[in-house]
Amino acid sequence: GAVVSQHPSRVICKSGTSVKIECRSLDFQATTMFWYRQFPKQSLMLMATSNEGSKATYEQGVEKDKFLINHASLTLSTLTVTSAHPEDSSFYICSARGVDRDYGYTFGSGTRLTVV
């Protein structure tokens, strides 16, 4: 089946530094990747949608200069949290979709970011 690998699974960084999270589709080509954010005991909130080779589309209220998304290939998307602050601490989850929606949405295992 479709597998999405997300790394790192957890990261602790100092306030003001940047952190990169990788999302890879291992056995299919992901034309579209999605990035979600989840606070404790809350639901997943879509942050942005990225299509391979195009600029990401950000949801309202998500700062594109803070959350840099790159989808340079059909199997890799990265989310970089720039100048991280403690309020950016959260669980970040990526999802990948193949050629069309019928291929389904496959989720990564998530990244727990803690900014100290």
Q: Using CB under 8 A, pick the residue from 69, 77, 108, 113 that binds another protein.
A: 108
- Residue 25 sits in the site that holds another protein (CB under 8 A): no
For 25-57, give the DSSP string. ESSS--SEEEEEEE-TTS-EEEEEEEETTS--E
Regarding beta strands 111-115 and 10-13, do their DSSP bridges make them parallel or antiparallel, or are they unpaired? parallel
Going along the chain, which residue ranges are E strands?
A: 4-7, 10-13, 19-25, 32-38, 44-51, 57-58, 67-73, 76-81, 90-97, 105-107, 111-115
Binding mask 75-94 for another protein (x = CB under 8 A): ----------------x-x-
- Residue 62 sits in the site that holds another protein (CB under 8 A): no
Q: What are phi and psi of 74, to 5 degrees?
A: -75, 0
Q: Which stretch binds another protein (CB under 8 A): 12-20, 45-53, 62-70, 78-86?
A: 45-53
Q: Nearer to another protein by C-beta: 15 or 48?
A: 48
Query: 105: how many CB neighbours lie within 10 A of its CB?
Result: 13
Q: Using CB under 8 A, pick the residue from 19, 74, 77, 110 that binds another protein.
A: 110
Q: Nearer to another protein by C-beta: 11 or 91?
A: 91
For another protein, the binding residues (CB under 8 A) are: 4, 6, 32, 34, 36, 41-46, 49, 57, 91, 93, 95, 97, 101, 104-110, 112
